[in-house]
Amino acid sequence: MIKKVVLSFPVDATDRSLMYDLVKRYDIRINILKAEIEAGKSGKLLVELEADELLLEQGLVFLTDNGVTVSPLASKISYDESRCINCGNCASACFSHALTIGEPDWKLKFNPEKCIVCKLCLKSCPLKLFRIEFSE
Ligand code: SF4
Ligand code: SF4
């Protein structure tokens, strides 16, 4: 089974060998599609995980037990465009550049194709315009 997920690592988990453990203990093949991790800071990985279904689920529980937030990609982000003041906070926070703002009109643009559902925009918008929708 193959699953695409975003793994959000807390500050104290980025230096640990959790991904190595995932391979060794659960025989999960990991394809890192995008990474942003710095020692001493929280980090994010967009990964494709491939393994036997049971081992994959056990591996994800192992990550969760170690403080990693696992977000399935079967969820999507939307926002209330009509109330947006184009402050750009969300675009600055957007890990994958799904949200951008700039010339010529300095209006927020959202490209859902690039969204990896990391949820950073939910916290960054002062007007709380973002919401997350889940689907199977
Ligand atoms: S969840 Fe928000 S911040 Fe994260 S990639 Fe999608 S639009 Fe960007
Ligand atoms: S943070 Fe909120 S108000 Fe600011 S540009 Fe993004 S959606 Fe608009």
- Tell whether ligand 2 has an atom less than 6 A from the beta carbon of residue 32: no
Asked if domains 2-72 and 75-134 share a fold, the reply is yes
Q: Nearest residue CA, atom 1 of ligand 2?
A: 125
Examine residue 10 and say whether the peptide bond preceding it is cis (omega within 30 degrees of 0).
Answer: no
Give the pLDDT confidence score for residue 57 in this predicted structure. Answer: 94
The ranges assigned to domains in the chain are 2-72, 75-134
Give the N- to C-terminal CA distance of the chain in Å, as an integer: 15
Q: Nearest residue CA, atom 4 of ligand 2?
A: 87
Q: What is the mean predicted confidence (pLDDT) over 78-99?
A: 95
In CATH terms, 2-72 corresponds, of 3.30.70.260, 3.40.50.150, 3.40.50.10780, 3.30.750.210, to: 3.30.70.260
Q: How confident is the model at residue 136 (pLDDT cuts 50, 70, 90)?
A: very low
The Cα angle at residue 58 between residues 57 and 61, in degrees rounded to 5: 90
* Half-sphere CA count of 111, side-chain side, radius 13 A: 11
**25 Cα–ligand 2 center, Å:** 42
Fold classified for 75-134 = Alpha-Beta Plaits (3.30.70)
- Tell whether ligand 2 has an atom less than 6 A from the beta carbon of residue 69: no
